[in-house]
Amino acid sequence: MKAARSIDGRLEIAEIEMPVITSSSVLVETEYSAVSTGTELMVLRDGINAFLGYSATGIVREVGSDVDHVRVGQRIVCYGAHTHAEYFLAGRNHIAPIAEHVDPQEAAFAGIATIALQGLRQADLRFGETVVVLGLGIVGQLAAQIANAAAYRVIAMDPVETRCTLLERTGLSGVCRTPEQVLQRIQEATRGQGADCVLICANTKAHRLIDQALDWIRDKGKIVIVGDTNTEFERNKLFAKEAQITISRAGGPGRYDPAYEKDGHDYPYGYVRWTLQRNLDEFARLLSSGRLNLKPLVTGVYRLEELEQAYKRAGEAPEETMGTLIRFGAKTAAIRLTGNVDR
């Protein structure tokens, strides 16, 4: 089978052996894999040797004996496996079933959306509270939609017009283009008290965005860093509001824990309510119920052999390549799960 990997900073579409299933994993035939341009170009730039991709959807072809929440023939979404491949092997905690009626192109954003969702978990917001989403790349776009679906008051901002327009096309109105517009929206929404949280999704170190966020939050408010941003800030601003600054690590508890990811051990539900896999499940629920509109995010669909072209396009026109997908040859009709399905 074919898979994309980085070899000493060079992209290679390699012929590799089919993965061998384990008791705690599933073998999936890929339909669509989403390109995380920033991460993947960083891997190539830094000369890291690794297989590429981590966010996809596909059809389950084999199921390990310890996996009981998906079945052969079912469509699933995935976060964390190497998904730029015709088939991928995913641990039981890296997948979630998704309804058959969902557009697989939208489902492919599952892994990236789970990162955005975990950022909102770190914000620890309550119904009706106000969150500013700063930076409307792909993660920021998804974070703004998920926050809106959760009935938070969402104020989104990016200086790039095309990104603002794109979010408005998904159904969110009043997207801000300038910090001044954000401040005005916060004043109106909170009667001058300040936002409960600022979610920094921007990937830039050219500006001290934390200082900007400190101006926007309320007393004892919170700042959550999701993007790769400058982490310097003015201490007195933090002190004056007794604010919290935290960073969101990937898709949720369990990520980077070998016992969770490789061995398939779960965390107790009563002690760790939202794990990586449970966040992935929640994304699947939101998308299946029509609370998210991800189709406008799709700005390019390529074959695996065209991945280098996709990277080049993303480098030349990043504002026009928001959601890049790789299309594979999986039979897209999932088996309806009625009656017995062979494992």
Q: For the whole model, what pTM was predicted?
A: 0.92
Same-domain status, 103 and 124: no
- Torsional class of 127: left (φ above 0), alpha (ψ -120 to 50), beta (otherwise): beta
Q: Are residue 174 and residue 269 in the same domain, yes or no?
A: no
With contact defined as beta carbons under 8 Å apart, do 251 and 111 qualify? yes
Residue 339 lies in a domain: no
Compute how many other C-beta atoms are within 10 angstroms of the C-beta atom of residue 126.
Answer: 10
Residue 336 lies in a domain: no
Which of 186, 215, 247 terminates a domain? The answer is 247
Specify if 159 maps to a domain.
yes
252, 80 Cβ separation under 8 angstroms: no
Same domain, 193 and 283: no
> Are 21 and 101 found together in one domain?
yes
The number of folded domains in the chain is: 2
Residues 119 and 218 in one domain: yes
CATH of the domain at 223: 3.40.50.720
What are phi and psi for residue 244, nearest 5 degrees?
-110, 140
Per-residue pLDDT at 343: 26
In terms of domains, do 279 and 300 share one?
yes
Q: How far is CA 196 from CA 80, 126, 177, 230, in A?
A: 31, 9, 20, 21
Residues 44 and 78 reside in one and the same domain: yes
* Residue 332 domain flag: no
> Which residues have C-beta within 8 Å of that of residue 295, sequence separation ≥ 6?
103, 105, 106
- Please report whether residue 334 resides in a domain: no
CATH number of the structural domain spanning residue 302: 3.90.180.10
Q: What tens-digit pLDDT sequence spans the chain (343 residues)?
A: 999 999 999 999 999 999 999 999 999 999 999 999 989 999 999 999 999 999 999 999 999 999 999 999 999 999 999 999 999 999 999 999 999 999 999 999 999 999 999 999 999 999 999 999 999 999 999 999 999 999 999 999 999 999 999 999 999 999 999 999 999 999 999 999 999 999 999 988 878 999 999 999 999 999 999 998 888 899 999 999 999 999 998 999 999 999 999 999 999 999 999 999 999 999 999 999 999 999 999 999 999 999 999 999 988 888 788 899 999 986 544 333 322 233 2
Amino acid 59: pLDDT: 98
- Last residue of some domain: 247, 274, 290? 247
Structural domain contains residue 34: yes
**Same domain, yes or no: 6 and 31:** yes
Whether 195 and 139 share a structural domain: yes
Q: Does residue 121 share a domain with residue 234?
A: yes
In a domain, 208, yes or no: yes
Q: What residue has token string 């001044």?
A: 180
Domain annotation covers residue 335: no
Same domain, 266 and 156: no
Domain extent, residue 203, equals 114-247
Same domain, 169 and 207: yes
What whole-number distance in Å separates Cα of residue 94 and Cα of residue 117? 15
How many whole angstroms separate alpha carbon 290 and alpha carbon 266? 29
